[in-house]
Copies of this chain bind each other. A is one copy, B any other.
């Protein structure tokens, strides 16, 4: 079996992919799985609406199909996990969504999960997803930073809002662990954790770590 984990950023922003790629450095080992990050050039420039989700799925499926023969596992690096279950039909190799992985990892780090979303419009979609996962009782709340994917480029501004939202999730909603509800912000994870004093899950890292385990164990679908 190939030892490559293909991480596909389903939006077309190279900068996001680069941020993801850097964040995965600690998971690269000389003899371990290779980790390759891809930008979905045909994807939308940021996934904010459900339409963006749907628009990303067909090219994402083609991308995964093209990578499949040479793949060990896949990670869909968008917090809406676009196409996750369709991808699990086109390959028996592990396919991990970062939202799923982020939440599940958070469940081992705290009892009540607070999620920092980028935009409020995404929250109902995420809540549907947590419902589908059957974990609503563990969700303390999800609040938006209210910044577009582009605006998030101003890291300082992004950080200040994230920290503010994180503290509100902690103090008013009782969260004791946080999940960053987006991809490409990994460089702020430690700083956020230090500021809010709660463990913080970066979902791309969580997703690739899960994929790595599945790949090394050779656990594919039955």
Q: Which residues of A contact B (CB under 8 A)?
A: 26-27, 29-32, 49-51, 53-55, 57-58, 61, 83, 85-86, 88-90, 96, 100-101, 104-105, 107-112, 123-125, 127-129, 131-138, 141, 174, 176, 193, 196-201, 205-206, 208-210, 212-214, 216-222
Cβ–Cβ < 8 Å partners of A111 in chain B: 123-124, 127-128
Known: A50-B86, A176-B124, A213-B206. A107 touches B110 (CB 8 A): no
**Residue of chain B at shortest CB distance from A205:** B217
The 5 closest A-B pairs by CB, nearest first: A209-B213, A111-B124, A134-B137, A128-B132, A50-B86
Task: Give the shortest distance, in Å, between A28 (CB) and chain B (any CB).
Answer: 9
Q: Is the CB–CB distance between A134 and B133 below 8 Å?
A: no
Cβ–Cβ < 8 Å partners of A112 in chain B: 124, 127
The CA-CA distance from A176 to B210 in the complex, in Å, is 20
